[in-house]
Amino acid sequence: EVPRYPAVKRDLSLVIEKSINFEKIEDIAKRAEPRLLRGINLFDVYEGERIEAGKKAYAVSFILQDQEKTLTDKVIDKTMDKLMKAFESETGALIRQ
């Protein structure tokens, strides 16, 4: 069945400790936003000279969708802010803008 309301995709770049794996990021996201989060995907990992020693950068995409209404920019921004705060508090992640 085709979803009645559209999904939206947002990307984040997180600088985290090398010891943190994607499963940890996925778990944090699912706990922080269980209602609207429909998917999470790691699409790039960077380790190199532009990143502090002992760290790596994850580029992660999030698929958000409400089953009852179309998401507004305000709701999407609030949701992404909630996810960013969860990553910062639980992993010490630096969100790259």
Fill in the DSSP letter of residue 1: -
Tell me the pLDDT tens digit for each residue of 31-90.
Answer: 999 999 999 999 999 999 889 999 999 999 999 999 999 999 999 999 999 999 999 999
Tell me the pLDDT band of 3, cut-offs 50, 70 and 90: confident
In the block, tokens 């069945």 appear at: 1
pTM to 2 decimal places: 0.92
CA 6/CA 56 separation, integer angstroms: 32
